[in-house]
């Protein structure tokens, strides 16, 4: 394993592949990953070593001072995310503490962000799969989507698109989530938490 300070970061947007899922609440991790790819000037391509799409680049100051990052979107469906993420972690020689999962979170109000390292999966199938595959000591950016209204089942709620009211603010919240990831990678967890954990 490379020296941790210089090791690359693996930033994983969690979601389900394919156009049918693209606008779902469960796919907000993909939305943030897409914006980060745009910011570093890359396009997602199919990975050779894993069932995922990846973009390689740098975050932070231009040139060698920037942090090496690999952005990834698993193509395995949410509940099997651990396999592709672990394959990419091993291929790129990324320490588990440099892995960041971006995911939807039911227990936080819509648009609220929370950064942390380690912890439980809170019933999230993508996290459950990742933790089973590589342990829990990776970073998470939890993107609040709130609880389902009335008696709607959780599975139905997360696999529905954001409402028209939510979509009015979605771009702003996705942009803020991308800022939070950049801050985490370039300035560290504490700095990112104090700036973005609302």
Residue of 26, 98, 103, 139 marked active site: 26
84: helix, coil or strand? helix
Q: What is the model's pLDDT at position 49?
A: 83
Q: What is the model's pLDDT at position 48?
A: 86
Q: What is the model's pLDDT at position 1?
A: 39
Residues of the chain scoring pLDDT < 50: 1-2
Q: What is the model's pLDDT at position 3?
A: 52
Listing DSSP states for 115-171 in one string gives EEES---TT-HHHHHHHHHH-S-SEEEEEE--PPSTT--HHHHHTSBPPHHHHHHHH
Angle made by CA atoms 136, 161, 87, in degrees to the nearest 5: 30
71 forms beta bridges with: 11, 55
- Strands in 52-59's sheet, in edge-to-edge order, are 45-46, 52-59, 67-74, 9-13, 99-105, 139-144, 113-117
Between 125-134 and 82-91, two packed helices, what is the crossing angle to 10 degrees?
A: 40
β-strand pairing of 99-105 with 139-144: parallel
Angle made by CA atoms 20, 129, 35, in degrees to the nearest 5: 50
Number of H helices, E strands in the chain: 6, 7
Say if pTM beats, i.e. exceeds, 0.85. Answer: yes
Q: What is the model's pLDDT at position 131?
A: 97
Residue 12, sorted as left (phi over 0), alpha (psi -120 to 50) or beta, turns out to be beta
98: annotated active-site residue: no
Q: Which two tokens stand for residue 95?
A: 């320490």
With beta carbons less than 8 A apart as the criterion, state whether 113 and 172 touch.
no
Q: What is the model's pLDDT at position 2?
A: 43
């Amino acid at each position: 394993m490379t020296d941790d300070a210089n090791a690359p970061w693996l930033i994983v947007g969690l979601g389900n592949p394919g156009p049918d899922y693209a606008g779902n609440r469960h796919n907000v991790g993909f939305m943030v990953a897409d914006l980060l790819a745009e910011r570093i000037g890359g396009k997602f391509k199919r990975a050779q070593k894993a069932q995922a799409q990846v973009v390689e680049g740098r975050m932070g100051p231009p040139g060698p001072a920037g942090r090496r990052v690999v952005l990834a979107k698993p193509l395995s469906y949410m509940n099997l995310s651990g396999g592709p993420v672990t394959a990419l972690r091993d291929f790129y020689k990324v320490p588990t503490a440099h892995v960041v999962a971006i995911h939807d979170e039911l227990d936080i109000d819509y648009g609220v962000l929370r950064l942390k390292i380690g912890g439980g999966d809170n019933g999230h199938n993508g996290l459950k799969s990742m933790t089973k595959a590589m342990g829990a000591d990776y970073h998470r950016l939890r993107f609040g989507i709130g609880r389902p209204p009335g008696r709607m089942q959780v599975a139905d709620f997360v696999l529905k698109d954001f409402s028209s009211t939510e979509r009015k603010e979605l771009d702003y919240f996705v942009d803020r989530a991308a800022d939070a990831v950049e801050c985490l990678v370039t300035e560290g967890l504490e700095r990112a938490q104090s700036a973005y954990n609302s």
